[in-house]
A and B are shown apart, each in its own frame.
Chain A
């Protein structure tokens, strides 16, 4: 039965629709679209601000990877935790952070999530369960395993997601962490966002296996490959992994195959991939366009509804940037604050 047919017949849940349309309400699905826009426009706003010199340092944009971040986070609660990567703005938003405080962080302001001490590469929002982006490839993976050990020892129902990129699968920390997580059956999910390149070096040139998920067998855990640009596929894999984890069945390795439109960082000259390749992903496989089309096809939203979401997000982004600009910078005299825990 086609989707249109299902819709026409007003079928109950359980019909042969992609996973998320069976699992989530229309409101949740629209919220997911809202957040994917928020991620993209946040990245564009950050890029614009960076190019104008309002943002210091460098940053790594996740434009093109929105469905991956959003899909993984859909089954999570605020109590669940994630560790993130240098390309972590999307994870932070998908997990529930406010863009105004993220912009403020990027602008180095005291109202930022890290009070101006972390910036893009260490963006975090502990209140919504994001333990932080990481500047070290693979740095967050053992930390996620430690967080899962806490969850298990305290018998909380919490699961922990560790996001990392394809580059991290060749770090020792990845292997040590996966081994211990499986050994101790910890409630942790390893999510490799494979965007094809570790900086300039492609998977083919860096990794002995064809898929990162193939590594799962070595650690006796399920390895799942999904199209990271299809929200429902990502969310479905995440759901299953979260279910397993909560039941105490141990970790899962999900490989979400996706693509970043921008360079590795703002210093990337794009010498290692062709314009045609980038163009192809942008035109034919954009995760937001694909999701919009599905939502319209299934009658969950119309063009006007989409436009309304885009407009609301535009305003949220503009307000966020204004908030960041107007916020105070840290005072030099407070330079040494937060190195150690202040005793009250």
Chain B
């Protein structure tokens, strides 16, 4: 059956995915702060409470640790909770339940249970929300075996990956960049999934591979367009999932282009790009490298309030252009 394709915003795509999940599976319910009549801090849940009732779109007290634990307990005993954090920064309040309980329960119990919980984290800078509401903490959770951590970059992917996450038997953490919520793209109607653990080549190219995550995928594509006019043919790999990482796609791309640039918003040191770089250095692609690997990541500071400072904290298109030019011309 053909599914009609509409232009939806990223936030609408998430809402549609949750509505489909709520409609098709009685076990699914939403939990979070102000997700009911308020519609969610970023209006992602919207009017779902009117459509599905307060029993299935549950406003929680401001209790991130307790709320996350309730979601974990519900998941272990047969429900399929989707837990929204108001800001990804608040994961810090719930790390115990995410890291010690959700991630490890199946392992600690020798496979006797699964923890099919989905947690959504509005993340990233660019909204002037300063240091405690702008972080990109995906690498923190990416470090924990037992979790799956995804960063969809397009409306199409976020709907398909959220539905894949709901169907997944294990805890899936979705990091949604706040600046993506209003971006639009084609989204088919109805149910479909996009696999977790599979990267996507957004643009094929010969000369250099950019591995990017979340909003940086769009910045990399914008840079690639400019570079094309200069005769530099860039391949852009959208990592999509940081755990488990799709090593094969990245390795094959680097083997083809011999050059690697990692672009991500999280703090550069010990971040996603550090992992991608090390993974390539350890892989068969090492012998194909014709230039040093370069990372562009967040600055080693908290996210500042001043808009110019804030912009300077995370990689921007001109940073990507400069890095690619120096790599492609062999000057670094």
**Identity of the chain B residue whose Cβ is nearest the Cβ of A336 in the assembled complex:** B145
Number of residue pairs A-B, CB distance < 8 angstroms: 145
Stretch in contact with the other chain, from B62-70, B267-275, B307-315: B62-70
> Which residues of chain B in 212-252 are interfacial with respect to chain A, using CB atoms and an 8 Å cutoff?
none
Residues B73 and A176 in contact, CB atoms below 8 Å apart:
no
Separation of A122 and B110 alpha carbons in the complex (Å)? 10
Known: A177-B66, A177-B70, A180-B61. A153 touches B79 (CB 8 A): yes
List, in ascending order, chain B residues with CB within 8 A of A114's CB.
Answer: 108-110, 112
B257 within 8 A of A: no
**Identity of the chain B residue whose Cβ is nearest the Cβ of A162 in the assembled complex:** B73
Stretch in contact with the other chain, from A128-136, A200-208, A286-294: A128-136
Would you give the shortest CB distance from B77 to chain A, in whole angstroms? Answer: 4
List, in ascending order, chain A residues with CB within 8 A of B96's CB.
Answer: 136, 139, 173
**Identity of the chain A residue whose Cβ is nearest the Cβ of B66 in the assembled complex:** A176
Residues A338 and B106 in contact, CB atoms below 8 Å apart:
yes
Residues B70 and A145 in contact, CB atoms below 8 Å apart:
yes
Known: A146-B74, A341-B169. A122 touches B100 (CB 8 A): no
Separation of A341 and B100 alpha carbons in the complex (Å)? 17
Residues B74 and A338 in contact, CB atoms below 8 Å apart:
no
List, in ascending order, chain A residues with CB within 8 A of B71's CB.
Answer: 146
B285 within 8 A of A: no
- Out of B61, B65, B67, B109, name the residue touching A132 (CB < 8 Å): B109
List, in ascending order, chain B residues with CB within 8 A of A126's CB.
Answer: 109, 112-113
List, in ascending order, chain A residues with CB within 8 A of B111's CB.
Answer: 115, 337-338, 342
Would you give the shortest CB distance from B214 to chain A, in whole angstroms? Answer: 23
Residues B67 and A180 in contact, CB atoms below 8 Å apart:
yes
- Out of B63, B100, B109, name the residue touching A180 (CB < 8 Å): B63
> Which residues of chain B in 87-136 are interfacial with respect to chain A, using CB atoms and an 8 Å cutoff?
96-97, 100-101, 105-114
Separation of A153 and B79 alpha carbons in the complex (Å)? 9
Interface size class of A (residues with CB under 8 A): 35 or more
A81 within 8 A of B: yes
- Out of A134, A141, A146, A183, name the residue touching B76 (CB < 8 Å): A146
B170 within 8 A of A: yes
Would you give the shortest CB distance from B31 to chain A, in whole angstroms? Answer: 9
Would you give the shortest CB distance from A152 to chain B, in whole angstroms? Answer: 9
Residues A124 and B112 in contact, CB atoms below 8 Å apart:
yes
List, in ascending order, chain A residues with CB within 8 A of B72's CB.
Answer: 142-143, 146
Residues B109 and A150 in contact, CB atoms below 8 Å apart:
no
B13 within 8 A of A: no
List, in ascending order, chain A residues with CB within 8 A of B145's CB.
Answer: 339
List, in ascending order, chain A residues with CB within 8 A of B74's CB.
Answer: 146-147, 149-150, 153
B75 within 8 A of A: yes
**Identity of the chain B residue whose Cβ is nearest the Cβ of A118 in the assembled complex:** B108
- Out of B70, B77, B79, name the residue touching A142 (CB < 8 Å): B70
> Which residues of chain B in 10-66 are interfacial with respect to chain A, using CB atoms and an 8 Å cutoff?
29, 55, 60-61, 63, 65-66
A151 within 8 A of B: yes
Known: A180-B67, A341-B169. A153 touches B29 (CB 8 A): yes
Residues A115 and B100 in contact, CB atoms below 8 Å apart:
no
List, in ascending order, chain A residues with CB within 8 A of B65's CB.
Answer: 142, 172-173, 176
Known: A131-B76, A151-B77. A339 touches B63 (CB 8 A): no
Would you give the shortest CB distance from A124 to chain B, in whole angstroms? Answer: 5
List, in ascending order, chain B residues with CB within 8 A of A141's CB.
Answer: 69
Would you give the shortest CB distance from B19 to chain A, in whole angstroms? Answer: 19
Residues B73 and A143 in contact, CB atoms below 8 Å apart:
yes
List, in ascending order, chain A residues with CB within 8 A of B78's CB.
Answer: 150, 154
Would you give the shortest CB distance from A207 to chain B, in whole angstroms? Answer: 20
Residues A149 and B100 in contact, CB atoms below 8 Å apart:
no
B142 within 8 A of A: no
List, in ascending order, chain B residues with CB within 8 A of A173's CB.
Answer: 65-66, 69, 96-97
A112 within 8 A of B: yes
A190 within 8 A of B: no
List, in ascending order, chain B residues with CB within 8 A of A83's CB.
Answer: 73
Residues B110 and A113 in contact, CB atoms below 8 Å apart:
yes
- Out of A139, A146, A176, name the residue touching B75 (CB < 8 Å): A146
Residues in A lying within 8 Å of B, measured CB to CB: 81, 83, 112-118, 122, 124, 126, 131-132, 134-136, 139, 141-151, 153-154, 172-173, 175-177, 179-180, 183, 337-342
A-B contact list, 10 entries, CB within 8 Å: A113-B110, A115-B110, A132-B109, A143-B97, A149-B70, A150-B73, A150-B77, A154-B79, A176-B69, A180-B66
Kindly list 7 other residue pairs between chains A and B, CB separation below 8 angstroms, not including A149-B70, A340-B148.
A122-B109, A131-B73, A141-B69, A146-B70, A172-B66, A175-B66, A177-B69
